[in-house]
Amino acid sequence: MITFDHVTKRYPDGTNAVNDLSFEVAEGELVTLVGPSGCGKTTTMMMVNRLIEPTSGRILVGGEDIMATDPVRLRRGIGYVIQQVGLFPHRTVLDNTATVPALIGWKKAKARARAAELLDLVGLDPGTYGPRYPDQLSGGQRQRVGVARALAADPPVLLMDEPFGAVDPVVRERLQSQFLELQRTMRKTVLLVTHDIEEAVRLGGRMAVYGPGRVEQYDTPGAVLGKPATPYVAEFVGADRGLKRLSVTEIQQHDLEQPPIARFDVPAARAAAYLREEGARWAVVLDEDGALHGWVGAAELAGAPEGGTVRGLAHRMNAWVPVGAPLKQAFSVMLQHDAGWVAVLDGARFLGVLTPARLHEALRRSVDADARGVGRGDVDFDSVTDA
Ligand SMILES: Nc1ncnc2c1ncn2[C@@H]1O[C@H](COP(=O)(O)OP(=O)(O)OP(=O)(O)O)[C@@H](O)[C@H]1O
């Protein structure tokens, strides 16, 4: 979908920003460009929509040579999101979002309806936020408007330059998750520039790791972390790459442990007997609707007065993550609740729990899987154990 074919960019002052760059981004793929400041990521991206023109080499978008395509027509098919967002301060959020559809000649009502739909899609209620002006939004909300605006004309290609860079880490993580969720349904072809290796690993189907003016490695996050192609990449991804793998490994159903379950309305004595039989010290407690409530200890159940039910003894613990979430999220929830496990839910349905031991096993599964792809003997297992 996007092809870089021996692309070089030399600025008039002689700076060689990008040298002989060749790689391909498949249709519907999200590729992250990551590397230290000044290594040519933004230059690479701005060549795609011809805000900067290559000195030599070819760039194809959807099979068409961009230099042979009218720049205005080219840009219609390419959404562009930048860190400073660049919203028009005197236009409402709704009108900002409707900018591109209006530019390409949609009727006002249709453009606005589309804008409202997009705001909703990025999690901003159009009724509440649509009439506001950009300075009446938080940084994270502005960023979302930027994404909505870029998507408004439904371009097949999206260029994103540090789109989540200007917000604090908590908001950034939320925006990233939300964007991943969107991308799963939209399947745009995305180039996303970041200098944050964690972001590159988390979002990228593949990542291009930049050294000065060139791509040092172009591969999946698992392969980059599992087998850095050059010492430069190894240093860039860092010694804690086992830890970073937490961000790319999703929790799967078979990673889960199945502790005993006690329902609210079960007599305490019966639950106690069950735990004894199972040799378990605690059980997960689900309420009458089968939703997670928390846990109860075997000793508490055994010491309960006659006639009591689980309900009166249960401790509330709301530590849970959705199945498919990255291991990192489970780990973070465990720490946040100071818990030895987190429940894993599918919607409201309880699937099982993830314990630290299971988390470690899942991490190993992910290393093994990548090792099969990249040559098992070459993978440094120590980095995972250390993590
Ligand atoms: N208009 C320009 N004229 C001359 N040199 C430029 C110009 N724009 C960028 N450069 C240089 O080209 C190189 C690559 O810049 P680029 O902005 O592509 O890097 P980057 O990897 O995106 O950096 P950052 O992460 O800091 O945004 C840098 O050395 C930069 O100073």
The answer to whether residues 163 and 192 touch, using CB atoms and an 8 Å cutoff, is yes
Dump pLDDT digits (tens) for 8-57. 999 999 999 999 999 999 999 999 999 988 899 999 999 999 999 999 99
Burial of 253 (0-12, 13-18, 19+ CB in 10 A): exposed
**Atom 2 of ligand 1: nearest residue by CA position:** 11
Ligand 1 centroid, distance to 44 Cα (angstroms) = 10
**Residue with CA at minimum distance from ligand 1 atom 13:** 17
Structure tokens at 221: 């996050």
Give yes or no for residue 224 having a pLDDT over 70: yes
For residue 47, the CA-to-ligand 1 centroid distance in Å is 12
Atom of ligand 1 nearest to the CA of 46: 18
Which residue type does 21 have? L
Q: Give the pocket of ligand 1 (CB within 6 Å).
A: 11, 13, 15, 17, 35, 37-43, 195
- Most informative mutation of 15, 195, 209 for ligand 1 (most atoms within 8 A of CB): 15
Q: What is the pLDDT of residue 150?
A: 86
Taking all residues of the chain, what is their mean pLDDT, rounded to a whole number?
86
Give per-residue pLDDT as tens, 356-375. 888 888 887 776 666 555 43
In this prediction, residues 88-92 reach a mean pLDDT of: 91
pLDDT at position 261 is 94
- Mean pLDDT, residues 305-315: 89
Residues in a beta bridge with 342 = 354
Query: What integer is the mean pLDDT of 166-181?
Result: 79
Handedness of CA 375, 379, 381, 387 (dihedral sign): negative
Of 365 and 234, the structure prediction assigns the larger pLDDT to 234
Q: Whose CA is closest to 251, among 101, 152, 352? A: 352
Query: What are the two backbone dihedrals, phi and then psi, of residue 215, each rounded to the nearest 5 degrees?
Result: -90, 120
CA triplet 127, 128, 132: central angle to 5 degrees? Answer: 110
**Which of 246, 245, 259, 235 shows the shortest CA–CA distance to 340?**
259
pLDDT, tens digit (0-9, with 9 covering 90-100), for 237-262: 876 677 778 888 889 998 999 999 99
CA pseudo-torsion sign 283, 284, 287, 289: negative
Of the candidate ranges 42-46, 275-279, 376-380, the one whose mean pLDDT is the lowest: 376-380
Residue 122: predicted pLDDT:
82
pLDDT at res. 384: 37
> How long a stretch of residues is the chain?
387
3-state secondary structure of 288: coil
Q: Which domains does the chain have, with CATH numbers?
A: 2-249 (3.40.50.300), 253-363 (3.10.580.10)
Given a contact cutoff of 8 angstroms between Cβ atoms, the answer to whether 9 and 52 are in contact is yes
Nearest atom in ligand 1 to the alpha carbon of residue 44 is: 18
Residues 6+ apart with CB under 8 A from 208: 23, 31, 32, 33, 34, 215, 217, 218
Best CA proximity match to 176, nearest among 195, 207, 204: 204
Q: Which helix (H) or strand (E) holds 231?
A: helix 231-237
Q: Supply the residue whose CA is at minimum distance from atom 3 of ligand 1.
A: 11
pLDDT score recorded for residue 380: 40
ipTM attached to this prediction:
0.93
The total of other beta-carbon atoms located within 10 Å of residue 211's CB is: 16
**Contact assessment for residue 193 and residue 161, using Cβ atoms and an 8 Å cutoff:** yes
CA dist., res. 317 & res. 247, Å (int): 24
Q: Is the pTM of this model over 0.90?
A: no
Q: Is the pLDDT of residue 381 over 70?
A: no
| pLDDT (average), residues 140-157 | 87
**Residue-wise pLDDT tens digits, 71-81:** 988 988 898 88
In the chain, DSSP assigns E strands to: 2-10, 16-25, 30-34, 56-61, 64-65, 78-82, 157-161, 189-194, 206-211, 214-219, 261-263, 282-286, 292-297, 315-316, 320-322, 342-346, 349-354
Cβ(99)–Cβ(173) under 8 Å?
A: no
